[in-house]
Structures are given as C-alpha cells and as structure tokens.
Structure 1
Amino acid sequence: MLTRTEHRAARAAGLAALLCIGLALAVPVLVLVAQGAGTGLSASQGEYLLRITRFTLMQAGLSTILSLATAVPLARALARRPAFPGRRWLINLFAVPLGLPPLVAALGLIEVWGRNGIANKGLGLLGVETPFSIYGLSGILIAHVFFNLPLAVRFILPGLERLPPEYWKTAANLGMGGLSLFRLIEWPAMRQSAAGAAGLVFMLCATSFTLVLVLGGGPAATTLEVAIYQALRFDFDPGRALMLAAIQVGLTLAVMLGLKLISAPSKPGDTKGGSTSRPDAPHGLHALPDAVLIGVAGVFVGAPMVAVIISGLQADLSRLLADPQFWRAATTSLSIGVAAALLSVLLAGLLVRARYSAADRSASPALGLLSALSGAASSLTLLVPPVVLGAGWFLMLGGGVGQMLAPLAVIVTVNALMALPFVMRVIEPAHLSAMQRNGRLSLSLGITGFSRLWQIDIPALRLPLVTGFVFAVALSLGDLGAIALFGSDRIVTLPWLLYQKLGSYRTSDAAGLALLLGGLTMGLMLAADRLGNRNGTTGQ
C-alpha cells in the first residue's frame, strides 16, 4: 500500500526511467538510420546481406536442433536416475556455462577441440589423419551446444520431475513401454518447456557475438552481429551497418514474439506426493545407456572448464599479476561493472515500484499502459542487441577516437541495459512480497515518503538488491560486446585484453587471463546464486 503522494512519486520516477531507457535505445538506432540514409543497395551488397542472414539463421537453427536433440534424452535420463552418485554435482555443473564469460569458454573449447587439443590427439591415436577444426561452422555449433544444452536441460527437467507418482503406477499397471511412456506421459509434460527452450536457444544463437567472433574463422562463418562489428570497426561503412542492424532487430523481434506465444508456464499436475519407481528405469546393465549418456554430457560440458583451469595454472600467473596492464584492465572492468550494476539496479527499482503503483490502480487506461510499459521495458532491452546499440553510439562519437569518458559511459549504459531483465526478475517478486507484508503496517504507523523508503522498504529489499547488483557486475565483467567497438589502448577491460592476447597468439597469457577472469565472474555468480537462494528468488 502506498499513499497518494507515494503513488505520484513512484509513477513519475518510473516514467523518468522509461524515458531514459527509451532514449538509450532510440538514439543509437536513429543515428544508424541517419548515417545510413540514402545509401543504395548494390547487387553485391544484397547478395552479401542475404548470405550473412542465411548463415545466421542456419547456424541458429542447427544449434537449436542439436541442443534440443541432446537435451531431451539427457533430461529423460536424469529424470529416470534421480539418485545416482554425483547427480547434484552434475546439475550444479550444468549451471556453470550460464555464467561463464563466452570468451573464457571459447578458450576452453579450443583447448579441447583445437588442432592440438585433446579431441584431435585422441583421433590421432585412432588413426584419423585429418584433424578436426574448431573454427568455422563446426566450432560455432559445438560452442552453442556447450552453452545451450545445460540451459535446455534445466528448462525441461523440472517438468519431468514434477510428474505425479500415480502416472508411473498407472503406466506400470498398463504395461506401457518406452515409446508409449514418452508419447503419452513425458512429452506432454515437457512439450511446452521444450518449445520455450527452443525459442530461447534460437534467439541466443542468432544474437551470438563473442563465440562467432572468436570461432567463426573468416567471412564464410559470419553472423549479423559480427558483420555489424566488422562494418564499423574495420570498414567504417555506416550504410552496411544500418542494413545489417535492421535485419538483426527484425529477426530478434520475430523471435521474441514467437517466444511470447509458446513459452506460457505449464500447470503442475495434482499429486499425493511420495516417490514411485518408474517402469522404464531398470537397473544393472539395462541402466548402461543412461549412464553413458549422462557421462558423455558431463564430460562434454566439464572438459572445457577443466581445460581452462589446467592451462591457466600452467601459465605464468605471477608475471601476469605483476603486469600493470592486467591491473589497469581489471580496474577498468570492475569500475564499469560496478557502475553498470548500480545503474541497472536503480532502473529496475524505479520500474518495479512504478509497475506496482500502476497495478494498484489499474482501472485507468493510462496506469494500465504504465504498468505494461514498466514490465516490457526489460524485454525491450533484449530487442536491440549490444552490438547494434554500440554501433549507433560509435557513429555518434565518431568512433570514440581521442575520447575516454563518453565511450566508457556508453559501455556502462549498454551493460546496464543488458543486465536489466535479470535484475528485475530478482527484485520484482521480493518487492511485491515486501509490500504485502509491510504496506499496511507502514501506513498505520504513519511512516511514509522518504522515511518509509529508507527505514522499511530498502532494508526489506537489501538482499535482492545486493543479489541483482552482484549478478549485474558478473555479467558486465565477462561482456565483450560493448567494448569490442570502443576498445583501444586507453580503454582496456579484461575481456578485451584476453581477446588481444588470443589475436596475437599469446596463448599462455590468454590461458592465465581466462582463468583469472573466469574465476572472478564465477565467484560473483555463485555469490549471487547463494544470496538468491537465501532470499527465495532464484529460479523465479
């Protein structure tokens, strides 16, 4: 409950936050349009755009098919085996790629699948002369499956685990076999979550930047976002960047609309609780296929992370830690991360408060619109990818040559907007719960306005605010998208320094930096996860 003055203040602050987000998204897009206006489309450019778009859709589609084709049987195997040793560790391992910086993961994948990697050495022992190439379409697909297979499993598995025991008793009594169980029981339980996972994986792969930049291997394996980066960073061709950005935004919008249609939450089944043995979960040698599938998936996901740790420990970490360039990059990364996290938490708090206020008086169409816009603001930030945002600001600032504060402000803003959906997801449920618990009590005690905000609301939200802040810092630390356009000798972050080391073939230094960056971001992610669990917001 809020007083009338508090309602007005919450709505005004929410409108201000919406205006800031709208300007941050609209200005770079308008700059791209203005810079590219009047640019004709030659036959060669049209063929180039068609080729880039076709490859973007093809690699996203193949990545989605591969991710789901392995995630569905893996989720079924995990659901059939709820108590094998190490199961909890495996599920926790599947959460690691979700917070691992893509650049660090790319280095780990190169260590495993590269020319001198573990996979090619094993193939050599088997007599295979032609080495497997991690670069090009094959490397992009492996990297996308590495990231999205665990994500899809975590989407699908809860639905299978929530199936009532009565289903399995009935199936056993009817003598159902594996195919009938899948068709009549498992697939209906996972269909909706699998469709939502497929749409999300497709969007993530279609907007992938860092993995394609590192593993693409050349013009033949270039996606829209990488092509935008190349058009500005290397060719400075605003017209081409505009066309690519328009296609990218249109593609992202289409995928987001599709996600809205297919990703409605499924209803949990009624159950009396308890546990029942599944009729399709035999033990002994019959459990071998499940064990092999689970083991292979664990090795596939875990090997690149182990490779990063091993190669990083073999690097000269003491020399890297004594290098002033490392500390300069670390300081810049942390400064950007903290600033972006503060901005993201501030915007999220204002939007959440405004949405609560507008929903409390939803009879007015204007307030209904405010509530809808406040809820959709975070999704709008996903509509325009970081590279597209950076491209507009890059053109406005003339490439940022000779400047430092303005490019840093752009990087902070872009990172804050990219973290906003996740921060809002943490804060909003906690805010609603706090208002239901403390609202009437605050009014009865006469504590209103700033005093209520400072003494009651913020202390009640301290844990989710800190959780969102830490999560946003971790996301910003591992991001290469915004810094890729503005990175220079004056502006160096840890991901940009790692990318430079990889580009100059200083693999030992790159391995050490990957270990340090991965350890820092994963430490922050684990801290955010623990804080979220204590607050009960994780997974909401």
Structure 2
Amino acid sequence: MAQRADSVATRVGIAAAALVVAAVLLAFVGIATRAEPGAGLGPGDWAAIRFTVVQSVLSAALSVLLAIPLARALARRQFIGRGVLVTLLGAPFILPVIVAVLGLVTVFGRSGWLNTGLAMVGLPGVSIYGLHGVVLAHVFFNLPLATRLLLQGWQTIPAERFRLAAQLRLTPVSLFRTLEWPLLKQIVPGVAALVFVICLTSFAVALTLGGGPRATTVELAIYQAFKFDFDLGRAASLAVVQLVLAGGAALIALSMIPAISIGGGIDRPVQRWDAESGVQRSLDIGIIVLSALFLLLPLGAVVLRGLAGLGQVPVSVWQAAGASVYVATISMVVLGLLALPMAGWIASRRTGGVEAIGLLGLSASPLMIGTGWFILINPVADPVQLALPVTALVNALMALPFALRIMVPRLRDTVQDYGRLGESLGMRGWPLWRWLILPRLRAQIGFAAGLTGALSVGDLGVIALFADPDRATLPLQMYRLMGAYRMEAAAGAALILLVLALGVFWVCDKGGRWHAEA
C-alpha cells in the first residue's frame, strides 16, 4: 500500500463521512426530542417487538437451512441454464418487494394457484397472511442471497482438495465433514446474521402480508403510529427500539459477512467425484428443480398477470414511474458522491475502523431515519413537498454499506499495486482518481450504482410516511391499487416496476463493465 495516505484519502472522504454521520445523528436528535423511553409503549407495541424478533429468527434460520443444500448442489453440478440460475440468485435486492409480494399472492394466496390445486383434490387451502406469510416472503427474498454467499464460499475450496479426496476414496459424508463443514462453520453465522438484519428492517413485507395485533413488526407499528394516529412520541419511542435491534444486529452481521462479489469465479464449478452416484445426482437435481420453481413461479405469475393488466393501468401509474426514476437518479448521484471518497479514505487506512461509519445507514432503518427527519422538518417546512428528495437521500444511505463492501476491496488492491508508482509520478488528487483508480473501479461503480438504482425504484418505505395522494412513487401507487382491489391494474403496474428496476440495474452494471479495466 502507498506509504502516504493523502494520495487517496482526501478531505473529501472525511467530509462525506461527516455528512453520513450528521444525517443519522440529525434523525436521532429528532427522535430524541419526542421519544419517551419506557413510556407510551403498550402491550401491542411489545407484541410487535416480539413478533419482529421471532419472524426474523425463523426467516433467517429457514433461509440458511434451505440455502445450504441448494448451494452445495449448484457447486457440484454443471447443466444448461446454470449460469442464468446463478445470475438470478445474484439479484435478491434488485427485485422490488411489492412486486414479489404480488407474485407470491398469485401463487399462494386464497385464490392462488396452490389453493386452486388443493381444492381440486379436496384438500383445505392455506393462507399467506400472518406469521407464515411474512416468513414465506422473507425466505423467497433471502434464500437466493444466502445461496449466493454460500456458493461464493464453496468456490474458494481448491479443486486439488477434491481431487485428493477422490484419490483417498472418501465417501460423500466423509468429504462433507472434512472439507465442507469447516467452511460452513465460518460462513453460515455471518450469512444468518445478515439475513436476520434484513428481516428486522423489512417494512413492505409486513405492510402487505402482516398487520393485525399478531402480525405487526416494529416498523409497521411506527408507520401506523405515524400515519394513522400521528402520535409522533410513540413513533419516536418505537424508532429507538428499532435502532437498538437493527443497529446491534447490523454491527454483528457486517463484521462477519464476506466481501460482496460481483460474480467473478462463482460460475466455474470444479469437478466433484463425490457426486457421481445416482443417489447424489438425483438429490441435487431435485433440490435445484424445486428451488427454481419456488423462485420462478411468482416471477412468472407477475409477468403473466402484468401482461393481461397493462391495458388497465391508469395514467397515475406512469406519473409515479417518472417519480421513481427521479428518486433513483438522485439516489445514485448521492451514493457516488458519498461512497467514492469514503471508499478511498477507508482503502488508504490499514485498519477498517472507519468503515463502521458507512454501516450507520444499515444500523438505522429507513423508517427510523424518516421519522426523525419528519419531526425536524415539520416545524419549519412542509415535509410532503420534500417527499421525493428525502426518499432518495435515505435510499442512498441504505445502499451505502453495500456499495462500500463492493468498492473497498478493489480500491484497496489498486492502492497496494499501483500506489507507489502513482506517488513516484507525482499523481495526487483528481489526476490520481482519473487515470489510476476510476478506470480500475468502473465495474464495481456500475454494480453499486445499479444496485442503488434498483433499490430506489422499488422502495416502499420513507415515501409511505411523507407522500400525499398527489405525490407517490410507483411502488406506493401499486400498493394503493392493491388496497383498492384493482388487482389487474396493480399487476400491470407490477410488470412496469419489475422492468424498470431490472432495466436500471442492467444499464448501470453493463455500462460499468463495458471496456472496464481488469
């Protein structure tokens, strides 16, 4: 690494980190002015806290337990379409939550495909609402993420070890115990902790599939206290609880999870002699097929219903789509202005302590930040008029931890490999970034920007607090259509939202990889 940190870590990085800290602290100050710790939380609020923890534990446990055999099967098998399936597993955050929920309702809802099939054979139907529905939706979202991270770890086992195991004629059980179990012990705790944090701060799933006294999360309770009762004191108190829960879990999770890969290497399976028997092959194929059906059927349902409902989409949906693009654009710009200088500052340090600053966005949930900012803005301005910019800024903060995890390893390698050369040539400041760092960071920048844009396009969080009937993003407009039982129009809006989110990600990611330097 370069001896002089000022070649990469500039005052801009420190200023960006200070802005992130200030944004979160301001929200906390707003909450502190109205919060009444220990007071104002009734039995329903404590029930929401218990439900939040229980559903997060169940969701994380099921997601990881199901991901282990799926990741192992993908690591051992090569088949036509494997690359497409692995790519699908790499996009858990890209899919808008409200779109996936509509797909799950189509498949598992009261009048869904599953209940229709059960009724045909005389079996009782199932309900997707309540605890099991929330857990089902979280497994749908987080099974691909957990599988992707586990598969990334599986690919780190050298092929020579499997060749040696074959020469020693180890049984599949012995090979799992010798090579794979030690790897799982290192990776699984971090993956489970990350999924747990995501489920703690999942608002849209609880909003659409939860509700009621027995299926209310802390974030949903904040929304209800804020939107329906306008009880800012109770909302602030709940936000403090959410900060403690999510913040503590996030610090634990992000200290254990591996760096996020943009895909290099995980699509090259090594030859596995332990998986050649018919039983092992049948098990792997069965696991892959069932998992693919579970992930693809709701997406297929969204596409089919969306095509049929496009003709019933009102003009307000297209206006909301424009608002979503506006929010995503601001989010990507803000993320670039924050993440790049912060990544440079972090990469130039020998210790990773300053990286914790970037984790503040994940430690504080969007509803918590939105509540704090609303409390501060309300006395001096109309928060509704600032709904879209505030939503964009919060989305950028939420994506910042993942962007840093994507950018910092590559930037640190660049500094280690070329830092001394750059110093010897007198390259500092903007010339250093322009000619050395940015060309080698293009793929990571594009991936992070696409991830941020897709998240922003599909976000149903802060906008639900600030928006009025005349101001909405596409996810909120779609939720309103579902609430009005205009399901065909909502399906058409879901298809538009899906195409928009995937399109934003594809354009940014493809643009970053185009002629990017290795």
Instruction: Tell me how many residue pairs correspond in the alignment.
Output: 510
Contact in 1 for aligned 2:68/2:147 (Cα 8 Å): yes
SS at match of 1:428: helix
The reply on whether 1:125 has 2:123 as its aligned counterpart is no
User: Hey, what's the Cα distance between the residues in 2 that align with 1:447 and 1:176?
Assistant: 55
The reply on whether 1:346 has 2:346 as its aligned counterpart is no
SS at match of 1:473: helix
User: Hey, what's the Cα distance between the residues in 2 that align with 1:515 and 1:118?
Assistant: 19
The reply on whether 1:406 has 2:386 as its aligned counterpart is yes
- The aligned counterpart of 2:289 is 295
The reply on whether 1:205 has 2:199 as its aligned counterpart is yes
**Sequence identity percentage:** 37
Contact in 2 for aligned 1:345/1:420 (Cα 8 Å): no
AA aligned opposite 2:78: A
Q: How far 1:454 sits from its partner (Å)? A: 5.5
User: Hey, what's the Cα distance between the residues in 1 that align with 2:180 and 2:517?
Assistant: 28
User: Hey, what's the Cα distance between the residues in 1 that align with 2:408 and 2:164?
Assistant: 41
Structure 2 vs 1, CA of residues 435 and 279 (structure 1 numbering), >3 Å: closer, same or farther? closer
- The aligned counterpart of 1:188 is 182
The reply on whether 1:62 has 2:58 as its aligned counterpart is yes
Structure 2 vs 1, CA of residues 275 and 490 (structure 1 numbering), >3 Å: closer, same or farther? closer
- The aligned counterpart of 2:26 is 27
The reply on whether 1:253 has 2:252 as its aligned counterpart is no
User: Hey, what's the Cα distance between the residues in 1 that align with 2:164 and 2:245?
Assistant: 45
AA aligned opposite 2:325: L
- The aligned counterpart of 2:452 is 472
Of residues 143, 147, 151 in structure 2, which corresponds to 1:153? 147
- Trace 1:426-437 onto structure 2 (pairs within 5 A): 426-435=406-415
- Trace 1:384-423 onto structure 2 (pairs within 5 A): 384-398=364-378, 402-423=382-403
Kindly provide the CA deviation profile for residues 501-526 of structure 1, in whole angstroms up to 9, marking residues without a partner as x. Answer: 11111111110111011111112223
- Trace 1:133-532 onto structure 2 (pairs within 5 A): 133-169=127-163, 171-172=165-166, 176-259=170-253, 262-263=256-257, 276-283=271-278, 287-317=281-311, 320=313, 323-357=314-348, 359=349, 372-373=353-354, 375-398=355-378, 402-435=382-415, 448-450=428-430, 458=438, 461=441, 464-531=444-511
Structure 2 vs 1, CA of residues 89 and 228 (structure 1 numbering), >3 Å: closer, same or farther? same
User: Hey, what's the Cα distance between the residues in 1 that align with 2:87 and 2:435?
Assistant: 37
Unpaired segments ≥5 residues, structure 1: 266-272, 363-367
User: Hey, what's the Cα distance between the residues in 2 that align with 1:232 and 1:152?
Assistant: 33
Kindly provide the CA deviation profile for residues 205-264 of structure 1, in whole angstroms up to 9, marking residues without a partner as x. Answer: 121111111111423101111111111111122232223222211112331343256446
User: Hey, what's the Cα distance between the residues in 2 that align with 1:184 and 1:451?
Assistant: 50
Structure 2 vs 1, CA of residues 356 and 276 (structure 1 numbering), >3 Å: closer, same or farther? closer
Structure with the greater relative contact order (CA < 8 A, sep ≥ 6): 1 or 2? 2
- TM-score of the aligned structures, taking structure 1 as reference length: 0.85
Contact in 2 for aligned 1:100/1:522 (Cα 8 Å): yes
Q: How far 1:529 sits from its partner (Å)? A: 4.0
Structure 2 vs 1, CA of residues 439 and 186 (structure 1 numbering), >3 Å: closer, same or farther? closer
Contact in 2 for aligned 1:344/1:419 (Cα 8 Å): yes
AA aligned opposite 1:101: P
User: Hey, what's the Cα distance between the residues in 1 that align with 2:105 and 2:376?
Assistant: 36
Q: How far 1:294 sits from its partner (Å)? A: 1.3
- TM-score of the aligned structures, taking structure 2 as reference length: 0.88
Structure 2 vs 1, CA of residues 372 and 170 (structure 1 numbering), >3 Å: closer, same or farther? closer
Kindly provide the CA deviation profile for residues 338-385 of structure 1, in whole angstroms up to 9, marking residues without a partner as x. Answer: 11211111011221233345x2xx6xxxxx7xx732x22211111100
Contact in 1 for aligned 2:310/2:493 (Cα 8 Å): no
User: Hey, what's the Cα distance between the residues in 2 that align with 1:214 and 1:289?
Assistant: 35
User: Hey, what's the Cα distance between the residues in 2 that align with 1:506 and 1:102?
Assistant: 18
Structure 2 vs 1, CA of residues 35 and 278 (structure 1 numbering), >3 Å: closer, same or farther? same
Structure 2 vs 1, CA of residues 62 and 404 (structure 1 numbering), >3 Å: closer, same or farther? closer
Deviates more, 1:330-339 or 1:446-455: 446-455
- Trace 1:81-92 onto structure 2 (pairs within 5 A): 82-92=77-87
Structure 2 vs 1, CA of residues 316 and 452 (structure 1 numbering), >3 Å: closer, same or farther? closer
User: Hey, what's the Cα distance between the residues in 1 that align with 2:445 and 2:221?
Assistant: 37
User: Hey, what's the Cα distance between the residues in 2 that align with 1:40 and 1:229?
Assistant: 19
- The aligned counterpart of 2:39 is 41
Q: How far 1:107 sits from its partner (Å)? A: 0.6
Structure 2 vs 1, CA of residues 277 and 335 (structure 1 numbering), >3 Å: closer, same or farther? closer
